[in-house]
Structure 1
Amino acid sequence: MAVSGKKASKQFLSSTTSMASDEDLQIYCQPCDEEGPRLPAHGYCTDCKEHLCKTCFRAHKVSRFSKHHTLQDATNMPKVLQQPSTSIHTGQSDVLTTPCLKHPQEMIKFYCNDHTELLCSVCVTLEHQATSCKVDYIPDISGDILDSKQYQDILKTLNHTSDQFQQMVEDVKNMTNKSNSSLKESLAEIKKFRQEINQRLDVLERQAEDAAKVIKQKNNKNLKAVETTYEDMSKSLKTSSDKIKQLNTSKQTNKLFMELKLAEKTIHNVKGKTQQLLSYDIKEHNFQSNDEILNFLKTEESLGTLTHKTFNTESQSVQIKSRQPSHEGEICVKTSKDKYRCWIIGMTLLTPDLLIITDYDNKAVKMVDTNSQSVSDQLQLDAELWDITTVTSTQVAVTLPSIQTIQFISISSNKLIMKHTVKVGGNCHGISCYQSKLVVSFFNPAKLQILDINGTILTTTDGKYIFQNPRYIICNRSSIYVSDSGMKRVRSIYGSNDDMKRVTMLNWQGDEIGSYSGMGDPRGMSLSDDGTVFVCVWQRYGRHFVIEEISVDCSTGKVVLQDHKRPQAVCWCGKTKKLYYSCYVSDEKYGNFLQIYKLS
């Protein structure tokens, strides 16, 4: 279509225009010119500010995204090319040419507000219908985006996030340097340990050599004395023999007689001396090695264990808060079904209002309503039970050591319902669940296993060199904590034993990555909302029994409750900031009650 009388401004000219001369200008369909063949304009959309060919003009009338736009036919449409959008600035190209990831042949032109997704026309048609989604045409909504609050906020967030990642890069570099440095130190420690072993073996070798030398010197002295005696007696007998022969030749009968008698006496004395010398015990020596040392070296698989602590970009050493405890009361858990005094040995919090506990002596699982402070239901089992853990919001698991079984129990309509069981290979005690994985500790022999809900063994950690009596377990995303009431280390080459009681920290591969010791005898544990560990402790430094809080990395600890009656099991509620614990005492005043403390 020829247009005369006006010349198009060069700043509005693009590939959609073709100039025959300065006075002759043909206007083409802008959408088609962007993505397809160049076709003459048949009309114009005042909303999109685009010239359209016949096909695009017809489609524009029926599309639900543009059917309400104002259209002008060929007669009324502008006779010069218009600026497509207010979002296009002079000298800049803002054509929608980004291909859709799902439909590469289509360009992204729409935005779904409900799903916050960029879409092409095919995406809109197939997945984001008008009846279910609010979809906008991008040129219709992008005009006010320049220097907008959204622009400023996103840019600020991008810069902040970029700075965070840059800091993380620096942290990773620092952690790498620390890790390499620690490995260098570990290699030096291995060399040092080997030198210590060599030095000790050198000492033992010198001791054995010195003992052999003493025996050799003594033997040489005694044998030299025997040799000298024999030589002297031989000379004396030879002298007597020669003299007798001479006297006999010279016919000196008197002297011969006396010499013969002296010879008889000498022979008698010599025989007696000979018997005495022969009685001296001359031994042949050999070396009998200490097989215990050799067997120890044969059975050991390494010089030692290369332990490590996990670096975490999150705060791994959460500081222990200063907490002010206040006694909030107690809950009686003794029921009419109980035959004996209660021994509450395990507990887990299902909700802030629902505490599930295990009563060892009465072989019962009890549901405690913390609001009414009473036992709302009780389930009797056939064997003594130990620890308990929350599996889901409606299911718990309990260990039964004497029958080597894990019992699953569901909670429905405020009732405890016995479900399936899983047989395990040993006397199971501690149990903790994280993301459908059960971590279980065992006695005799001491070990730790990670199982799935069906009882399939995923990992086994031999506790031979880590712990001896792993009573309780708690775990989170990165760590497993084990309370050990008596770890016995292997006899060292220097002949000493090292007995300890401690909380051991493992990773999910079963490697020891930290420990906290010197506290006394640790029992039940519970994780705080900060990731620190509450642990019941017996006989700390000769003082009364306490509850202690240990840092996330087991580097430090602080007593939060002290002078209490043998705390056995403990449970923390982060929402109410309350700590529940049981006591193992014969006094029913304490044994049949759960104590409640607020820690603020």
Structure 2
Amino acid sequence: MASNLEASIQMGCDFIHDFACSACEEDGLNTEAKQFCNQCTKYYCDNCITKHNGLYKRHTLLDRKDVEKWAAAPGSMDILERCERHPGEALKLVCDDHDQLCCYVCVAVDHRQCSSIQHIPDVAKGIRKDPEFRQLPQRVAVLRKQIEDMKNDRMKNRASLRKTRTAIVDEIKAIRKEINDVLDKMEKTTVQELDRLVSDQEHSIKIDMESCTQMEDELKNIMDDIQNKDLSGEPPLYIGFRKCEEKIKQANKILQNMSNVSKYNITFCKHNGVEDNLSSMKTFGELNESNVFGAQPSTSVFPRDHVLAIKGYKDYNVKISSDNYTCCITGICELPGGAVVTTDYNNKVKLLDQEYIVVDHCDVPKYPYDVCHIGGDEVAVCVSNLDDRCELHVITITKGKLVTTRKLSFTHGCYGAAHYGNNLYISSDTALYVYTTTGQLVKKLYEDTSDSNTVFRLAISNDGKNIYIPNPSNNQLITLDNLGNKLSIFTDPDLREPYGVHATTAGHVFVCCFAHTVLQIDKDGKRKLATLAREQDGVWGPRALYFNSRTSSLVVGGWKDTLLVINVR
């Protein structure tokens, strides 16, 4: 009977019943059910119902005229066996054409034309010995762990995002305060200028009033003297007349001079540029949303294959009074707001504003090597001391201050770092490791033990497909794929002791060499596009570089107390 069932199923679905007898199914048979028992929650054919009634005389049965109630009745089958599309039906069949588990209703409705439908009991034979089935618990456990890790990462990401919002809001408020301070200063200067003008004009008015009073008094006194003299005494009258005439001339002259200024007045005409400039700016700055890989979209105006040329240079002094030695800038990265964080191998970690002025610094154990941005207001600083101390210090920038919040320790060197997706890439001098952001080792991605300094620094392309590794020992730039396979080995006469490498979000790749050169390499890491700067341009022992897309400039640091900023076009 079972073989007849399989044959009928293989040929089509003419004998697939909407409800099959539960008792017959247990014997591997396929018989149409005629009745349904509410208490047993099972289906029975005409033969099996007789046996059922002999055992359970008080059970309530539903025949075919009440078939619409059958599927609605609560089923006794395990939830694992229940059909999701038809909850009252059990999964009994497999459609090979669609690789889909089916109940009898599924087959009748959706799989009547399918060529291969099999009974699950037949297909399930020997499942316990199936290697894939035996590995299922481990596979599910690994996947559940990955899901849990992803949830934890997302929770941390959400917390970091909220911290980033708080930091950006603080920065916006700081900008607002700076603007308010500028406006307050402008207001104070304008009012002071107004007070000076009012004071000058009041002084002029006071002088005019005093002159008028004096003239009026002198004329009145002369006329009083003339009128009080004896009318028979002509000489005194004559003298009074002449003096009065003289005073009248003086008074007319003074009045004439005063009449040139009909009225003292001050007007105010605002500078439209202040209001126009502010109203033209809708926000305090540009907000960039990270993509799914955690990399910021490029703001560079240069296409990926554009060969850059130098426009000019400028040095910015980053040495501070507490520095004990000449600066050695070994790492540079930029925060979303435009601030820059540098690692000074000889001194400390420094925070620079957009004008490359040091605004804060903090100490880390000897020696700080590389620094990379890991999201929001957080950076990671590599610390290695002859492998005795190999750590990654996570530093948070809050209200313009550098604060170490946590650290990860390694059993190998920690000289270079990059963040991509949910992973940290750590270079150990001869190998490249991948870790989770919580410090769990994922795998060793690449190793080159032919010499020391073979894997000292790294950079990752914006799409995550290419990993660039300078190899100063062999004067090479190695390009790997994200599986650790070597894609290319680049050499060039100007590529001597390559040390620092940077890949921009637009696809540009830059390498700085300890032999005083800065090079632009194509995205595939196979050819030199340009030698951008040399020693005569101010490059000296460069150890790190970064491309600032906002200002279209390369920031280069090395064995100098200054950062060299190279403007490009």
**Which TM bucket (shorter chain)?**
0.3 to 0.5
Report which of the two structures shows the higher radius of gyration computed on alpha carbons. Answer: 1
